[in-house]
Amino acid sequence: MIPIVQFEDVSKVFFKGATPIQALGRMSLTVRTGELLAVVGPSGCGKSTLLNMAAGLMKPGTGSIRYKGQAVMGANTQVAYVTQKDNLLPWRTVEQNVRLPLEMGAHRLLPETEKRARVARYIQMVGLAGFEHHYPKELSGGMRKRAQMARSLVYEPDTLLMDEPFGALDAQLKLALQAELLKTWEGSGKTLIFVTHDLTEAISLADRVVVMSGRPGRITAIADIRLPRPRDVFHIRFQPEFGVYFEELWAALKQDAPAGEDRK
């Protein structure tokens, strides 16, 4: 089976004025079709850069990115990208925001009945039924994240890229949305690449966890997480096997932790 995403010897250098900053060292990574892959590492190690490359929003300095075996040369319309900010359009309701991807590209040709059905299905899936006609300013932060997730799923992409989607939320809401994400993803056959700073979050959600070093980012560890599914994102951390994975991955991650920083 052809991997869904392949990063082949990629690297990236940015410039601050005339000063080069190597954000990402040369690295290769294969993403398996249908898996939930979490990428964890310190700030500035190139995690978001990897997602931007997979989305075709940024070209690598070296190497190449392939999606379903084809080189990514421009915007990759086969993936959905959930960024740290929800980017909902303030003048559009929840329903109108979720519908937005169906008004672009080939999805414009879908029958109107199919568009309405999809929008309703994904709003229901993320728990926003009853809020279809609310504007973003009328929603809580967690509800805005749910609307963003529904908008990303509505055109039914094969792959979902998520960049610290729950990082700014309180602990209780974060757990609730992690559970919602797993419920939506499990059994869907979709591939999910999830970037986070939080090692506990990464292990709780993922099939595999990739640990990246500090700048320039390189892969320092990869672990298959063989915890059973479906998962309870709260209680799973109390399983003995969870602690084994945590210790293994923390050993790689802590090399770039500031002195005295506690575990996440």
Tokens of 17: 């004025």
Q: Are 38 and 177 in contact (CB under 8 A)?
A: no
Mean pLDDT of the chain: 89
Q: Are 223 and 245 in contact (CB under 8 A)?
A: yes
Q: What is the pLDDT of residue 161?
A: 95
| Between 239 and 86, residue with greater pLDDT | 239
Minimum mean pLDDT range among 27-31, 50-54, 134-138, 260-264 = 260-264
Per-residue pLDDT of 194-204, as tens digits, reads 999 899 999 99
Q: What is the pLDDT of residue 257?
A: 57
Q: What is the pLDDT of residue 105?
A: 73
Work out the percent of the chain whose per-residue pLDDT is above 70. 96
Give the DSSP letter of residue 261: P
Whether the pLDDT of residue 116 is over 50: the answer is yes
Amino acid at 165: P
Q: Are 160 and 153 in contact (CB under 8 A)?
A: yes
Whether the pLDDT of residue 20 is over 90: the answer is no
Q: What is the pLDDT of residue 16?
A: 83
List the chain domain ranges: 1-78+158-219+250-259, 80-157
Burial class of residue 51 in the structure, from the number of CB atoms within 10 Å of its CB (0-12 exposed, 13-18 middle, 19+ buried): buried
Whether the pLDDT of residue 109 is over 60: the answer is yes
Between CA 44 and CA 256 the distance in angstroms is: 11
Q: What is the pLDDT of residue 181?
A: 86
Q: Are 73 and 152 in contact (CB under 8 A)?
A: no
Question: 206-234 b/e with 16+ CB inside 10 Å = b?
Answer: bbbbbbbbbbbbbbbbebebeeeeebebe
Residue 63: other Cβ atoms inside 10 A: 17
φ and ψ of 25, to 5 deg? -80, 170
Per-residue pLDDT of 147-196, as tens digits, reads 988 898 888 888 999 998 887 677 887 888 888 889 888 888 899 999 99
Work out the percent of the chain whose per-residue pLDDT is above 90. 58
Residue of 87, 92, 102, 97 lying closest to 123 (CA atoms): 97
Q: What is the pLDDT of residue 171?
A: 82
Whether the pLDDT of residue 1 is over 80: the answer is no
Q: pLDDT category, 258, cuts 50, 70, 90?
A: low
Tell me the CATH architecture of domain 1-78+158-219+250-259: 3-Layer(aba) Sandwich (3.40)
Residue of 32, 56, 59, 29 lying closest to 212 (CA atoms): 29
Whether the pLDDT of residue 259 is over 50: the answer is no
